């Protein structure tokens, strides 16, 4: 039977400081996600969007973290807990979950659900490390914290964050690919962990194929499958302009496709998310269309 891909929308913008990413799931669907997945040879099952209250209806300081600042913490927990359940249910039903963000904070839910009753690896395709915590984050925006949260690093090791920890994910099975923007405390957190980080310099020197091959080795070592987190700001802003935190010097269109094609060839894709598509900042929905193309490549679409 062909692979079934369950599409789960999580239209949040709680974790970011620029509005618009809550429209990401709609923009991605509008760019013919279902059709492109069918061309890739899979059966798309669109489960719609999780209910997400509007930011204007909530107070960012309603629930303070035990220490530091994490804006809209209660709302992030509500959405990510629900998403974790939906991701786990999809895997139990024999489908591969594809979560559509929304900001990158939704990865807390994706990882927790994918790692439920399993040992998983993760490849983080991102310009940023997302390894801040409430006490190290300069902004308090949770979209800069999901990897630290999932791994239980720093503040996230406290019992108050049990909901955010992906217990089946070990830092030795995590690879970040394409790093080029880190806060100082994030840099220390990565160095102090067993996370494998590949900067853009590594891609420049070695080539994307070699780097992704090593990342796959890290993520698949002794695991039941891998989670792929694809933040569209991983790509250069000239290719993907519709993102909230663009950083110059990202990967090219072809490098991104080659990376996703390598993921597909591995046969180890367990779950995936597309995040940080911001239609307000986009040009003719091209970033959403690119997200769709890359998802299709990750699920097996080929030229020949």
- Tracing tokens 């629900």 back to the chain, one arrives at 82
Domain 4-298, classified CATH 3.40.50.720, yes or no: no
130 labeled binding residue: yes
128 is in an annotated binding site: yes
The DSSP H or E segment spanning 49 is strand 43-49
* Residue 217 annotated as binding site: no
In order of 54, 120, 295, the CA distances from 98 in angstroms are 23, 16, 9
85 annotated as a binding-site residue: no
CA distance 176 to 56: 33
> What phi and psi, each to the nearest 5 degrees, are found at residue 261?
-65, -35
Question: Which residues does the annotation mark as catalytic?
Answer: 104, 126, 128, 130, 143, 231, 233, 276
Q: Tell me the pLDDT tens digit for each residue of 53-69.
A: 877 777 777 778 888 89
- At 16 the pLDDT is 66
User: Which residue is listed with tokens 């909230």?
Assistant: 244
Supply the pTM of this predicted model: 0.96
Q: Where are the domains of the chain?
A: 4-298
- The pLDDT tens digits for 16-37 are 666 899 999 999 999 999 999 9
Average pLDDT over residues 282-296: 97
- Residues in CB range of 188: below 8 A, 6 or more apart: none
């Amino acid at each position: 039977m062909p692979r079934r891909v369950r599409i789960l929308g999580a239209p949040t913008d709680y974790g970011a400081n620029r509005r618009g990413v809550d429209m990401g799931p709609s923009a991605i669907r509008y760019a013919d996600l279902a059709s492109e997945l069918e061309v890739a040879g899979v059966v798309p099952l669109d489960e719609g969007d999780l209910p997400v209250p509007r930011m204007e209806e909530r107070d960012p300081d309603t629930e303070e973290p035990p220490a530091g600042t994490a804006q809209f913490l209660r709302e992030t927990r509500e959405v990510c807990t629900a998403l974790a359940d939906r991701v786990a249910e999809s895997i139990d039903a024999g489908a591969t979950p594809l979560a559509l963000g929304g900001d990158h904070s939704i990865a807390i839910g994706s990882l927790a659900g994918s790692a439920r009753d399993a040992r998983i690896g993760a490849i983080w395709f991102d310009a940023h490390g997302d390894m801040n915590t409430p006490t190290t984050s300069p902004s308090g925006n949770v979209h800069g914290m999901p990897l630290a949260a999932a791994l239980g690093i720093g503040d996230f090791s406290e019992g108050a964050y049990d909901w955010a920890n992906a217990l089946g994910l070990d830092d030795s099975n995590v690879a970040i690919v394409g790093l080029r923007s880190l806060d100082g405390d994030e840099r220390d957190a990565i160095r102090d962990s067993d996370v494998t980080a590949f900067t853009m310099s590594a891609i420049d020197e070695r080539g994307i194929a070699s780097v992704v091959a090593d990342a796959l080795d890290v993520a698949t070592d002794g695991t039941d499958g891998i989670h792929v987190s694809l933040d569209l700001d991983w790509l250069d802003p000239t290719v993907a302009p519709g993102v909230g935190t663009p950083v110059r010097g990202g990967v090219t269109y072809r490098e991104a496709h080659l990376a996703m094609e390598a993921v597909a060839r591995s046969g180890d894709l367990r779950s995936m998310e597309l995040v940080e598509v911001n239609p307000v900042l986009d040009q003719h929905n091209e970033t959403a269309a690119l997200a769709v193309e890359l998802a299709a490549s990750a699920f097996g679409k080929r030229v020949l």
